[in-house]
C-alpha cells in the first residue's frame, strides 16, 4: 500500500526568488530618503552599481571574441613564435565554448584542455619574452601588439589568482582576529 500524501504534512509552495528591478530600487530609495540630496545619492549608487555590473558582464562575454579577432588579425605577424596568435585563437574559441558548456561533463574536459593550453601559452609567450624584435625584417620578429596582448592575457590570470588568494587569506585572518 502506498503512503498517503497527507501523512507527510502540507508543504507550503515556495515563492520564486525576488529579483528587484532598478526601478523598484529607485522607488524604495525615494520612500526611504529623508531629503532630495539623499535620494539623488541613492539613485546614483543604484545606477552606477547596475551599470558597472553590466559593463563587467559585457566585457566577460566579449573578451573571448576580442581574443579570437586579435589572433586572426595578427596570425602571420609573429613568425618568431607562430604559436602565440594560434594560442589566442584557440583560447578565445574555448572561452566561448566553455561559457556555453557550464556544468556538464564536456565542460570538465574543456577545462582540462584549457589548463594544458594555458601552460603551453605560458611557455610560448614567456620563452619569447626578451628575445623578439619589433623589426619586421628581423628573424625574431613578432608584432608588439600581439605579443603584449598575449603576455598580459596570461599575466592577468596570475594577477587575479594572487588577488583572490590575498583576499581569502586576509578574510581568514580577519575572521580569526574577531572570533576571539
State pLDDT tens for residues 124-153: 999 999 999 999 999 999 999 999 999 999
- Is the pTM higher than 0.75? The answer reads no
User: Is 73 exposed, middle or buried, given 0-12, 13-18 or 19+ CB atoms closer than 10 A?
Assistant: middle
* 43: confidence class by pLDDT, cuts 50, 70, 90: confident
What separation in angstroms does the CA of 176 have from each of 163, 164, 180? 20, 18, 7
Residue 57 DSSP SS3 = helix
Does the pLDDT at position 82 exceed 90?
A: yes
Per-residue pLDDT, 132: 93
CB atoms < 10 A from the CB of 76, how many?
Answer: 10
Provide the Cα torsion 168, 171, 177, 178; round to 10°: -150
107 vs 67, more confident: 67
Amino acid at each position: 500500500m502506498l503512503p498517503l500524501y497527507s501523512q507527510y504534512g502540507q508543504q507550503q509552495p515556495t515563492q520564486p526568488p525576488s529579483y528587484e528591478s532598478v526601478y523598484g530600487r529607485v522607488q524604495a530609495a525615494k520612500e526611504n530618503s529623508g531629503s532630495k540630496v539623499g535620494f539623488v545619492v541613492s539613485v546614483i549608487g543604484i545606477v552606477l552599481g547596475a551599470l558597472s555590473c553590466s559593463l563587467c558582464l559585457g566585457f566577460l562575454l566579449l573578451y573571448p571574441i576580442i581574443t579570437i579577432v586579435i589572433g586572426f588579425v595578427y596570425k602571420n605577424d609573429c613568425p618568431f613564435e607562430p604559436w602565440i596568435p594560434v594560442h589566442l585563437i584557440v583560447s578565445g574559441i574555448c572561452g566561448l565554448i566553455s561559457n556555453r558548456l557550464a556544468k556538464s561533463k564536456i565542460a570538465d574536459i574543456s577545462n582540462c584542455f584549457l589548463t594544458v593550453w594555458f601552460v603551453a601559452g605560458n611557455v610560448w609567450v614567456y620563452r619569447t619574452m626578451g628575445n623578439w624584435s619589433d623589426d619586421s625584417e628581423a628573424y625574431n620578429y613578432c608584432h608588439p601588439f600581439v605579443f603584449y596582448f598575449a603576455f598580459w592575457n596570461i599575466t592577468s590570470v596570475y594577477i587575479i589568482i594572487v588577488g583572490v588568494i590575498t583576499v581569502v587569506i586576509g578574510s581568514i585572518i580577519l575572521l580569526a582576529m574577531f572570533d576571539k
